[in-house]
Amino acid sequence: MTAEMHAEPGPTPAEHPIDVVPTDEATDETPAIEDFKDRFLDRELSWLRFNERVLELAEDDSLPLLERARFLAIFTSNLDEFFMVRVAGLKRRIATGLAVRAASGLMPRDVLERIWTTARELSERHAAVLRDDLVPSLAEEGIQLVRWADLEPDEQQQCKTLFRDRIFPVLTPLAVDPAHPFPYISGLSLNLAVVVRNPRTGKEHFARVKVPSNFDRFIPLGNARFVPLEDVISARLKRLFPGMEVVEAHTFRVTRNEDLEVEEDDAENLLAALEKELLRRKFGPPVRLEVEESITPAVLELLVSELDISSEEVFRLPGPLDLRGLHGIADLAREELKYPAFLPSTHARLAEVESAAPVDVFKAVRRRDVLLHHPYDSFSTSVQRFIEQAAADPHVLAIKQTLYRTSGDSPIIDALIDAAEAGKQVLVLVEIKARFDEQANIRWARKLEQSGCHVVYGLVGLKTHCKLALVVRDEPDGIRRYAHIGTGNYNPKTSRLYEDLGLLTTNPEICEDVAHLFNNLSGWSRNAQYNELLVAPDSVRSGLVELVDAEIEHHRAGLPARIRIKANSIVDEQLIDALYRASRAGVPVELLIRGICALRPGVPGLSDNITVRSILGRFLEHSRVFWFAGGGDPSAWIGSADMMHRNLDRRVEALVRLPGEESKRAVTELLDLAYDDDTQAWLLEPNGEWRRNEGTVHLQAALIERQRHGHRPVSSAPNRR
């Protein structure tokens, strides 16, 4: 799970009760939707509630122990990114005078203050889970996270030897005095604030020692015992300051603004501008200071002063800080303390039958569309094989693909390079502005260009977030196009951790739409009309609103009407108001939202017919599904777009209408299981708090079990030509 994922909410202030304008009894008028002044929950506070649900998984003693440790690490990474991007953005708007009231009715300063309060409470709870629960539980299983004082003499000697031979040569103590200014503290680095005393003069001096990030965060001592790296360094500080007395040492960590701002007026220089901005990212202003609770007032005052940070942004926590390193503990080879082993299977339509040779993907997709559900369906034997076979097939004339994020050793990249070197026309749209993957994508873009691929960066002012691949093949009956439209990135590694859907099809209308979209992205075409796709920023919002309004009309006509949506987030006010209209008209609306939800369900007179649930677990629920009863003729759409302003206004996104009754039935079955009352989930209350139900079925475990028994909740649909 990345910075995009992964507890019953604690005492978060901020979400005040909804302010309902009462009905005028004299005229018996129903208040307008706009009269519900507090109908939107705050997006930033909703995100904190999401990370609280991640923390609750770490607290859940019914989960395997090492998986709980991993959820603690995920919580840390999530909160880091939240401060680097969202909190940094709030501070920037306040500083530049661009602070405007949010849809929730809160001003940025109000949101910021509530973020500090809530994030501090969650961080303290997070540290307490490790100290009071995980560490004792791990010790019972023979895995010990210990501090320096707990080490045996032989273990201390082992650490001293490691320090002398490997750690000491890497360290650079930086003094602070009139001749040495306060050093720059890089974002998310772990540091030691050290006070030393000159024994001759009695004068004290401050120094900073950076804890190197290229060593294990928790040093293995043997026998499954681990000690934090900073403890080893702290115990040997005398080696760094010979002739001085070490008075005190405390760990601290700074989070900085790492959101990028790139001017895109000159598209030709976008690559250079982005590289320049990536260098500046390292020097963003601080937005959070984490310190070990043992820190003395004098040292803390110095850090706060030198970093120019406010007292509200200081988080005093029990050590150790930076629990991202718990991923290393979670990776220990103790399978009995992890989720049961799971191996994705090849989709039945793409599986080898008698021959040892891989199935011909083109032949399989010509027979019928293939709807994939990752990670239950293997990415490598479906999407990856599709691209690899296209690269090797002499009948393939062209390959077009979008790349938003991919893995460091991507076989997709290698296949595209092979195709270009074989003389095929290869167009790759690389989104070099994918947050925190910019540097890697710049590298891929240059490598692809050098191999002969046509590389473009999309449209000025928009991120290209859609997940599309198009293969053009010369066949005996003429040119045929094959398309893949997905909800997740072309990344073989995250495909094993992210839950996503994808459609492989030769449907002529869909392939024609995908071809037009690629032309829009690579050339001057501005065709915004599509038959089977909704494309942002032109038609995703308006298309979804039309589909919602159509359900209202179906309900009024006495026909079947229902709306089901599965997404990562819902923030867009227009779409939320459309769902409120549907609810007020009597249409049942069921939302499955993993992360941010700005919609208030269950408010009398506004959202009585809306329910919101959230499912978190082993895999990151990442697919986006939009399902409509359609008056008895259901339609289902999948794609890359969440219901957020950035997705609908500032990104190129694509949703595809699933062709064929079998595909729609498969998605319906998946949603039925997710929405079943007995399926474990968190339920959103009208006041913005989440309550965990007591269901006995876990969605992901149930889908794994179905896969093992050969039952496919997501199936294949016959091609309709």
Active site positions, annotated: 465
Containing H/E element for 504? strand 498-505
The sign of the CA dihedral 704, 706, 711, 715 is: negative
| Alpha carbons 619 and 680: distance in angstroms, whole number | 14
User: Count of alpha carbons within 13 Å of 274, Cβ hemisphere only?
Assistant: 22
Q: Is the peptide bond before 199 cis (omega within 30 degrees of 0)?
A: no
Contact between 398 and 391 (Cβ < 8 Å): no
Contact between 461 and 472 (Cβ < 8 Å): no
Dihedrals phi, psi of 607, to nearest 5 degrees: -135, 40
The sign of the CA dihedral 323, 329, 331, 335 is: negative
The residues pairing with 463 across neighbouring beta strands, listed in sequence order, are: 651
Q: Which pair of structure tokens corresponds to residue 219? A: 């040093």
Helical ranges in 130-174 per DSSP H: 135-140, 153-162
| Alpha carbons 665 and 667: distance in angstroms, whole number | 5
Other beta carbons less than 10 A from residue 721's beta carbon: 9
| Alpha carbons 146 and 137: distance in angstroms, whole number | 13
Report which of 661, 679, 466 is spatially closest to residue 590, judged by C-alpha positions: 679
Report which of 570, 581, 564 is spatially closest to residue 636, judged by C-alpha positions: 564
Q: What angle do CA 539, 571, 585 make, to 5 degrees?
A: 75
Decide: helix, strand or coil at residue 92.
helix
Decide: helix, strand or coil at residue 477.
coil
The residues pairing with 275 across neighbouring beta strands, listed in sequence order, are: none
Other beta carbons less than 10 A from residue 379's beta carbon: 25
Containing H/E element for 683? strand 682-684
